Chains A and B, each alone.
Chain A
């Protein structure tokens, strides 16, 4: 006999995935805005954010009611707690896409800096991390989640390289300071998006195995003097 509760959990998952879809779309539009210098795409980013915020509240409310009414345990409890956290991540990702949009709109009005390829590679990596983190959630895929954790490091390296380059550029060419500052803002937000995708992957590992893998990398770096 199917549990009625399972149907409610399925609804919850669908809502979260719908939200993830808007987040992906929003990141894609914000990236294209910057890379192709198409400011009109900001409207798309803002439209997605409205949907993301509505879904954020809806998911929260459903989790709240399910916790109150179903007193979930074990796998069900881990799932709802993971959804509560992932919901926060996705909402923040929506905000970050908007931040990229704002900085992008400013950037396209200023002199261009030729880092299109580097920026394009970074945003594509981030977008894939977000997509994979949601796929990992759907399939409770631990292996994919662990790969996402590794890919976060690569995005961090992209950001570091971009920041070095842009700082250097600002010292040598004062006419590009404002453009460089916009791109620094964009790169930082991109890197934060990858962090949120990493959070989702960590939640999936917890959900599937009960293992808490958060903060392990940071601890290791600290010990190794990294």
Chain B
């Protein structure tokens, strides 16, 4: 069964319709890349997958988002619980200020009710290893998260998201503030992560989508123009608009 199933999703900022009747499914253990020009709705879409869109003033939506068999917009569903179950990584690394590296990764676990030091330590190590950061920070876990380099901070944020073992991690342009080496590390990491989680990534960098994703969705003016296997989208796109966008002939 698919892990994510979006059905007829439309989203607005006040009067402005940012997403128009989007339907899309994603399987477990896949990397799904969302591409499209600025303002096409890809970031809005990803924010609908963890109920962040409704936090924006005027943000509202219609339609269904099924995550692991549950409609996250069904009446009675607590958005805070939804967000706990869906990790999110943003463009700019945002380790919690004033918290150590250890605390940054363990905070989600504490919120989930885990307090035993040994369990926390084990899970923090596991998350940091999965984020390929452990070897770099294992001796400095008490240092502030903000003391790390940009690329390390982003991997710390990924470790923080992984710690609570969510089925899905959303990434909104996670490498656009990083140098090429850090970007390459994050890209490799994403491809390893899919053994454990489904990754939905918004990227401005088409080549990045091509390199790391299994499926690619092309958004334009709030519409989902094309969604298919990345191999196919980047070799034989079905829609002329996708072809023009990925070959740089747009506008």
Contacts and interface: CB of A to CB of B under 8 A. Distances in A.
Contact of B132 (A1, A3, A65, A70): A1
B211 interface: yes
Contact of A65 (B185, B188, B212, B231): B231
A70 B208 CA distance: 9
B81 interface: no
A4 B210 contact: no
| A interface secondary structure, majority | helix
Given A1-B132, A5-B211, A69 B231 contact: yes
Interface string B226-250: 0000110011000000000000000
B211 A70 contact: yes
Nearest to B188: A1
A118 B24 CA distance: 66
Contacts of A4: 187-188, 191, 211-212
Nearest to A4: B191
Interface residues of A, number: 11
| B interface secondary structure, majority | helix
Size band of the interface chain B makes with A: 10 to 19
Contacts of B230: 69
Contacts of A223: none
Given A1-B132, A5-B211, A69-B230, 20 more contacts: A1-B185, A1-B188, A2-B188, A3-B184, A3-B188, A4-B211, A4-B212, A64-B235, A65-B234, A68-B210, A68-B231, A68-B234, A68-B235, A69-B210, A69-B211, A69-B231, A69-B234, A70-B210, A70-B211, A71-B207
Task: Please name the 9 residue pairs, one residue from A and one from B, whose CB atoms are nearest each other, closest first.
Answer: A69-B210, A68-B234, A4-B191, A65-B231, A68-B235, A1-B188, A69-B234, A71-B207, A64-B235
